[in-house]
Structures are given as structure tokens and as C-alpha cells.
Amino acid sequence: MYAVVETGGKQYKVQVGQTIDVELLPAEVGDTVELDRVLMLSDGDDVKIGQPVVEGAKVMATVLDQARADKVIVFKYRAKQRYRRKIGHRQPYMRLRIDQIDA
């Protein structure tokens, strides 16, 4: 059984036991998070597609870690103008373990 969930403006195909990295959610490490924006459920030949979400479906996950991604360097410059800007950015993310998919 798998589900397609939406969180943080992105869609993820998840199965029980899988770990995923999502945008930061308001939860602490060890908390249980409910993802209720389930767009699709599949259990073998039985497929439910939401309009836009599947009613009553939810995915339960446990927060394993909060971290920041690798640094991305943004470098801007204009040729022959003596203009240079170097900026670094590390996006925070949350690692979730999928515990349960409720249809």
C-alpha cells in the first residue's frame, strides 16, 4: 500500500516504514505528525484519487530529526562593474518515518 501526500508545497509517494525529508513542520523530535493532505491511495488494484484530496485519509509519521541541508552558494556579479555578491543558504528540513496509512 502506498499514498501520495502533499506537504510544504511538494508531493511525496510514501509507504509504511519509509523515511522522507520534508519542509520544516511545527513539531519536535519524537512527536507524531498527521499528514492529512492525501492526494491518492493505492492498495494493489484498489486506487482512490482525491478531488483534490481523499476524504478521511491520513498518514501518520514520526519526527526523527530536524536538520539543515547542504549549503547552496549564490554568487551574483556584473562584468566590468566591480559588483560581486556571495551569499550562502542552508534550507531547514525535517526527517519523517511513515508509521501508518489510514484510508
For residue 103, the model assigns a pLDDT of 85
CB 32 within 8 A of CB 97: no
Which residues form the domain of 57?
2-102
The tally of domains found in the chain comes to 1
User: Please, what's the largest Cα pairwise distance for the chain?
Assistant: 62
Q: Amino acid identity of 82?
A: R
> What letters, b where the CB count within 10 A reaches 16 and e where it falls short, cover 40-59?
bbbeeeeeeeeeebbeebbb
For residue 70, the model assigns a pLDDT of 98
Give Cα 16 distance to the centre of its chain. Answer: 15
Closest CA to 59 of 14, 94, 23: 14
Q: Profile the chain (103 residues) by mean pLDDT over runs of 10 residues.
A: 96 97 96 96 94 95 97 98 98 97 91
Q: How far apart are CA 67 and CA 65, in angstroms?
A: 6
